[in-house]
Amino acid sequence: MNREVAAELLQKCLKDIFAFSVSRLYDKQDAEDLTNDIIIEVLSSVDRLQKDEAFYGYMWKIAENTFKRFIRNKSMQKIEFNEKFLGAYWETPEDKYIENEELLYLRRELSLLSRQYREVTVKYYIHNKTVVGISKEMKISEEMVKYYLFKTRKILKEGVNMERKYGEKSYNPSNFGIDFWGGGGDNSYVWQTFERKLPSNITLAAYDKPLTLKELSLELGVSAPYLEDELEILLRNKFIKQIGNKYQTDFLIFRTPYELEFGQKVPTAEICNETSNRICDIVEKILPKFKQKDFGIELDDNCLRWFIVNFALVNALGDFEEENKNRFGKYPILKGTTHGFVFGHDNDYKYGYFEGIYGYCNNKENTAHFTAVNYNAITKCQCWRGGNQNRVNIMCDAILGKEVKKDDTTIAQLVSEGMISVEDGKLKANFPIFTSRDNYLMCQALKPIIDDIVLCMDKICSMAAEIFKRHTPQYFHDRCERLCYIRHQADAMGIITEKLVSGGYLMVPDERTNLTVFGVKHLSDK
């Protein structure tokens, strides 16, 4: 191999070589000396290397040998030879290092074994149990115990002599966010599962291709015993699937390269610009009629505009979803009665307009519902916190003006959040409310705007779907288009809202205001 080429490669590896030296010597000066020795040794002998592609393996072999020689020479400077010493064996620092290194490799390989291999090995060699005893305890045949022990010895022997490289996620876990779109049942398990880094990074690691337990262990830098429990949870919740002895993520992830290309190639602002202008014109024409309606609370012109715009956007989203269900079919069942889609995204590039969309939150009796949209543009004045069915029921009780239930802490919580209030022993909604009949009439009045928004959504989603397919593994291609429509269908809502705010048509109050929350009574007008 040419020395100039070797010098260039060494230059790129300087940080890695120095890290190698520091990890073994823990002294900066010694590490610098060892690094220099390694570089000199490599350059002085690299001309004997016949294949350039073998350079890195050659370099690390030289580094290991140079280190052993370095500690031997350094130790010999401190040891005084005793002529009277008659022992048969003198353990050198090099011998001690090799022994510790072999023990380290053995422990490393044990941590990579799958559960049954590991448990049989530990019981036999560490707990000194017999083959018969292990057979009875684990309820497997004696032949199977012997097979595991034989196989384990072979695996350990091969593994100890292998160079293992831990993946980047072992020291630099990726950011990850989980999302859900759907309804029915309790979807809290989705958020709870991914509160920690480990399950998040398992799904990221096993996204592009299936990985074995050992491969996951090396990629994440986590021993197999700790991974197995996490994998069982992910399997139980259908976030991953098992293919033979390998594991693969079973939901789509919107990653940074896709988000960047989407931002560059989909002209979302241009698509929504004309619709935003039409919204202003139509809302101003119908504003006087809406002022005559009784929404249960006083609304100034700005709050009324917010209500009308948001009402049109929410109903456009509902119409678009119905179109997509006709096109793609109903949402799949996930767990229990929960139906919809789970999808993830890495947080390296955040592209979104919402802190959450809560549509058609019905009470148990289905006599009322409310909708709350947390646009990023209004976070300083509104933030509806989702929650359990009890919160939903009480919000709907306020819409219906029901009497206060005593000793209900959730009522006090919602009052403190400004969502509801109590008047004369009855609950009152602090946001616009109306009947299902009013809902129908307002949809008819706003139909031109709603239809225009639906067209914007379709343009954005169809362009996004073409890009997304190029950024997903082959086995996900049949899901790409549908999920892309779900992921981006609300983009038009966010873009239009932000344009109306930046253009001065809609104002965001500084004080706490329920700008984009409304409730519907499922009652006929009489």
Residues 141 and 187 in one domain: no
Among candidate residues 160, 189, 217, the one where a domain is terminated: 160
Q: Does 152 have pLDDT greater than 90? A: no
Residues 343 and 445 in one domain: yes
**Could you give the C-alpha distances from 147 to 62, 120, 131, in angstroms and in order?**
38, 10, 11
Report pLDDT digits (tens) over 223-270. Answer: 777 788 899 999 999 999 999 999 999 999 999 899 889 989 999 999
Cα–Cα distance, 471 to 261 (Å, whole number): 10
Inter-residue long-range contacts of 318-321, CB under 8 Å, 24+ positions, other chains counted: 318/359, 318/360, 319/450, 319/454, 320/454, 320/457, 320/458, 320/489, 321/489
Residues 98 and 155 in one domain: yes
* Listed residue (440, 314, 427, 451) closest to 370, CA to CA: 314
Residues 155 and 35 in one domain: no
Residues 343 and 484 in one domain: yes
Q: Are strands 517-521 and 433-435 parallel, antiparallel or unpaired?
A: parallel
Count of domains forming the chain: 4
- Report pTM: 0.66
Please give the residue that has the higher pLDDT: either 129 or 317.
Answer: 317
Which of 105-114, 207-216, 405-414 has the largest mean confidence? 207-216
Cα–Cα distance, 365 to 368 (Å, whole number): 8
Please give the residue that has the higher pLDDT: either 82 or 29.
Answer: 29
CATH number for the domain including 66?
1.10.1740.10
Report pLDDT digits (tens) over 424-446. Answer: 999 999 999 999 999 999 999 99
Sign of CA dihedral 344, 346, 352, 358: positive
Q: Does 41 have pLDDT greater than 90? A: no
Residues 421 and 501 in one domain: yes
Residue 502 lies in a domain: yes
- pLDDT the model gives residue 17: 87
Residues 398 and 336 in one domain: yes
Going by pLDDT thresholds of 50, 70 and 90, the confidence category of residue 78 is very low
**Could you give the C-alpha distances from 302 to 310, 312, 354, 435, in angstroms and in order?**
12, 16, 21, 22
Residues 244 and 273 in one domain: no
Residue 221 lies in a domain: yes
For residue 43, what are the domain limits? 3-76
- pLDDT the model gives residue 90: 45
**Could you give the C-alpha distances from 296 to 236, 288, 309, 518, in angstroms and in order?**
46, 17, 18, 11
